[in-house]
Chains A and B, each alone.
Chain A
């Protein structure tokens, strides 16, 4: 074979980086979105508090992870029988947000989290339908 086919270093070049017309997502501020605060005692109130102010726009990975851990903690503290009612108390946007956290939680399973999240997933799916899952997949800004 000729000499120039020996090296395959060119395969590691990210061609897209050199494209002048590369599509760039628009970036919003998001510095103030530090995620939910830890405070509430009662579970329902905790759920609502933890779903407020999600770190969607920020690029800070730590903030996102902190938020995720907090949410999973709150979701795990619910009794199985209470999950349905809790989901029912959320509005459409809340259900979508809950779905986002659930899928985020699936990414990093710990101890019993997946089982708990699956229960929440079932109830959230009943309310939000497949549309809420589609919105998790198409969202450019993840939680």
Chain B
């Protein structure tokens, strides 16, 4: 890292990421892989995974928009990039999401724009979306049926965008009413209508994003029966801190979120929208994911994924840490080394690494394979530039 003599502009934003041999049946260990020239290791904030027939499509990370294809065959060693089609954009994306069925990518950035990318002749071509926000976009998510997407922004609003065929462009409708600060996270309900939003005004809300131009009227759900556009079906005030991440359960009847006060909370629509909060002893969690109807995985500044379980109101509990600590072989240290460590670091330990796989906060969790109701593999990315794929045992 430090002593590289590479051209600063170009390599400034090269990717440094870690691929996993897990798909070959190896234990969930991350392998660090430096791209050709790397001056700074960019922090991975946002990513999207699409695992299709043994091919791991990795989309962008932080700065460079990169479409990289990795093939994992049974006889091939892990992490061999076979084709690297890099499209350089030099813009810092704040959000990205991949729609697997229609194979489109939506990206958003702090330049107040969002683009929808479609694959044509092996190249991703962008289409501008008229989002009409006057602050940075923070997060974006395709809806389950992929006919629209929601975009959260610092302009205190959510922009729900859909494609209008007559004029061949992407239009947007704004949800402004109850939101008082930056929208930090979004999640869609399986019915393609309801949207959960966590924001910096310490509230977590479920709002209807029903666009009558492109879809039929929705049937009633546990959250409510009437869902006109912009209707707020749940507004939980004072979640204790910024709401970093929200996730619906596979059925959509429960909503889990994590807030900056080191808590995880679940709102249960099936039980009269009762809210159960669990405050943890750990550092704040940044991302939450439902892996089956009762189990939740969450990760954050502690660099380690945790498993929680929710069985009903008042029954939200911590299960276990999901990171197997490395069994470091303590090589024999010479007396000289021993005292040198004591002198330099006031400790006899030889390493200053964390004993978790990730060496820095985990910023996002993402499903890799398996149904929503029975996730088999999920992945985590962190500020250390590493991406790790984990197995989940139900």
Which residue numbers of A lie inside 8 Å of B, CB to CB? 21, 23, 26, 92, 96, 128-132, 134-135, 138-140
Contact = CB atoms under 8 A, between A and B. Distances in A.
Nearest to A126: B281
Contacts of B282: 129-131
Interface of B: 156, 180-181, 201-202, 237-238, 240-241, 260-263, 279-284
B279 A23 contact: no
5 contacts: A23-B201, A92-B279, A130-B262, A130-B282, A138-B241
B241 A130 contact: no
A135 B281 contact: no
Given A23-B180, A23-B181, A138-B261, A130 B240 contact: no
Given A135-B240, A135-B262, A138-B241, A21 B281 contact: no
B260 A129 contact: no
Given A23-B181, A96-B279, A138-B241, A131 B262 contact: yes
A132 B283 CA distance: 9
A128 B283 CA distance: 11
A131 B283 contact: yes
Contacts of A138: 240-241, 260-261
A140 B63 CA distance: 34
Contacts of A140: 202, 238
A128 B281 contact: yes
A129 B261 CA distance: 12
B283 A130 contact: yes
> Max chain B CB contacts within 10 Å: which of A26, A128, A131, A140?
A131
Contacts of A26: 237-238
Contacts of A132: 281
Nearest to B262: A131
B314 to A, nearest CB: 14
B240 A129 contact: no
A92 B262 CA distance: 13
B291 to A, nearest CB: 23
B354 to A, nearest CB: 14
A83 B237 CA distance: 35
Nearest to A128: B281
Given A23-B181, A26-B237, A134 B260 contact: yes
Contact of B261 (A21, A92, A139): A139
A128 B281 CA distance: 6
A129 B281 contact: yes
B201 A134 contact: no
A140 to B, nearest CB: 7
Contacts of B241: 138
A132 B156 CA distance: 30
A132 B263 CA distance: 10
A131 B279 contact: yes
A134 B202 contact: no
Contacts of A130: 262, 281-283
A140 B238 CA distance: 9
B181 A134 contact: no
A130 B282 CA distance: 6
Nearest to B281: A129
Contacts of A96: 279
Nearest to A28: B238
A131 B180 contact: no
A134 B261 contact: yes
Nearest to B259: A138
Contacts of B201: 23
Contacts of B262: 130-131, 134-135
A129 B280 contact: yes
Contacts of B263: 131, 135
Contacts of B280: 129, 131
